[in-house]
Amino acid sequence: MNAKTETLDLPEGACLTAKVPDRDEALLGDVVVNPYRLAPLTAIIRDGGRAISAAHVRVRGRGERGVDISYDVSDRSLWTYGGIPVFGLYPDHVNQVEVSYKLDGERIREQYQIYAPAVRLPVVAKQTAALPEVVPVKVAPGFEQRLYLFNHLLGDIPGGRALKWNALGGAAEWDQVGNNWIADSNGDVRWYLDIEQIHDSNRRDGLGGTMGFQQTRDGKLIWGQGQTYSKYDLLGRQVWQRNLPDKFADFSHEIRETPHGTYLLRVGTSDYRRPDGKRVRSVRDHIIEVNEAGDVLEFWDLNQILDPYRGDLLETLGKAAVQLPAGVARQDSNLANELAEGDLPFGDIPGVGTGRNWAHVNAIDYDADDDSIIISARHQGVVKIGRDKQVKWILASPQGWPQRLRDKVLKPIASEGFDWSWTQHTAWLTGKGTLTVFDNGWGRDFAATKLSGNYSRAVEYRIDEAKGTVEQVWEYGKERGDEWYSPVTSVVAYRPETDTQFIYSASVGFLTKDKLTTTTLNEVRRGTQEVLVELKVLSRQPGSVGYRALVIELDKAF
């Protein structure tokens, strides 16, 4: 790593003076690449004991199309890291890094050459290891500085012992390796998570796929993984990593920060007693709220709030969905249904009844207007629930709901092309009085699984809670058909800074034999069909499936 010091070009009339150190004068301290062993494409330029302030970093783009990454560094970050944090290094490349800072009232600029090593990934199924390739198709002016975090999942690392739960069942056997990286608008890798530092199939607190990445208000990253949930900064510095509270187990899909500084997590329970007396691990059917210290403030048991025996959609998904025995009709009494189950197996399998994957919650949002949560339950629909555990509304086909919930199903206002969402992922408020949903479309209209002739949509609904109605105000993706169809996963989220709908159709090709997916990231101007950004993400490993993606805001991070 080399560096040189030179004067800073200041605008005419600037009050700051520039300092030109002597050639033999030491610059700042050592340059430490991958300082926390988790984010190999980051570094810290140590301050060498100097009291620097007001720092700025620019990592120069590589080649003609390369994207510069520039950001200001707060004094708080300088104190925290003991120097200047460097984010966005290219792998296997000598990066040209410019930094500026104030020292003794003077502004100084320095140039560093920092080499970052090639991407190192674990060997997974079929002995291949490669990040997907991100190919830009369109990047409109004004979006060149976008940074996107991709959250993909792979198969197990060979040799990892499959840790199973006991006879209570549960989701511990669902263990995948996460591929998590940030790409710029040119598709180049500028950050990735060294997954082997945190994943281990042989440990209870090391198994599970990393999922639910969100950037918090203070610029950190939160995610969950099996029996743990974590908060780290972009340099890989751990804020906290915790085991789930003992009453609960099996995180996946969603962790969400609320405006109160608490966190909502989708979990199951470690020991659940059903009305028929059987004890099971419940599966993907509880929401917990924890504070910054990890204390459980509240939880929502969807087995009590919804109906774990509504299996209408489960029967259409082309899986071995466990239902009540042939000839046994579902009753309004859950106890009667449970007694009729007999010895049907429990575990993380699609099926009705507590102890099976009857709900499959994959997203949570918080509505501060009335202190409620909104959940996306893939096998049921989108539901809003108050802190009193009462259902406020249901956004789903009316078919199959029990008598006590039928009047909660929203009534559509006639609009062109209205449809419910089917096996949806994400159901998030826009801040514009509407709700966005990624309508995957698997099992649409309760139809059997098809290998072609499908479509997914990003869709925006307006809900009138007082009247119990729903209106579809926008959709995107239907006309793209199979080449944009994602039967599982995916996300749509409104971005207020650009007035765009950010969409990741994350599992295109998932139903093909080799499962080599070609997924699509879009930013579409809200309320229109105008595509401002399109990136294709080409899997280079069989079984690599996108879960979500999100926009990363550097101005929050440092």
**Other beta carbons less than 10 A from residue 26's beta carbon:** 11
Question: What are the residues whose beta carbons fall under 8 Å from the beta carbon of 69, sequence distance 6 or more?
Answer: 57, 58, 59, 61, 87, 88, 145, 147, 184, 190, 554
On whether the CB atoms of residues 460 and 501 are closer than 8 A, the answer is: yes
Instruction: Give the type of residue at 424.
Output: Q
For 12-27, give the secondary structure using H, E and C. Answer: CCCCCCECCCCCCCCC
Q: Are 518 and 539 in contact (CB under 8 A)?
A: yes
- 3-state SS, 314-347, equals HHHCCCCCECCCCCCCCCCCHHHHHHHHCCCCCC
DSSP, residue by residue, 465-478: TTTTEEEEEEEESG
Give 339's contacts (C-beta < 8 A, 6+ positions apart): 276
Going from the C-alpha of 241 to that of each of 76, 211, 518, the distances in angstroms are 22, 14, 33
253 is catalytic: no
Q: Position 445: which residue type?
A: D
| In contact, 44 and 31? CB cutoff 8 Å | yes
Token output for 265 = 């997590």
Give the amino acid at 32: V
Q: Which amino acid, 41? A: L
Closest CA to 213 of 225, 202, 198, 197: 225
Question: Who contacts 415 (Cβ-Cβ below 8 Å, separation ≥6)?
Answer: 471, 472, 473
Please pick, among 152, 286, 379, 425, the residue that the annotation labels catalytic. Answer: 425
Tokens for 247, please give them: 């009453």
Question: Using CA atoms, how far apart are residues 505 and 480, in angstroms rounded to an integer?
Answer: 11
Give me the long-range contacts of 463-468 (CB less than 8 A, separation at least 24): 463/393, 463/395, 463/410, 463/434, 463/435, 465/384, 465/392, 465/393, 468/393, 468/407, 468/408, 468/410, 468/411
Nearest Cα neighbor of 192 from 92, 91, 60, 93 is 91
What gap in Å lies between CA 457 and CA 479, rounded to an integer?
9
Q: Which residues pair with 265 in a beta bridge?
A: 255, 288
Q: What is the set of active-site residues?
A: 425
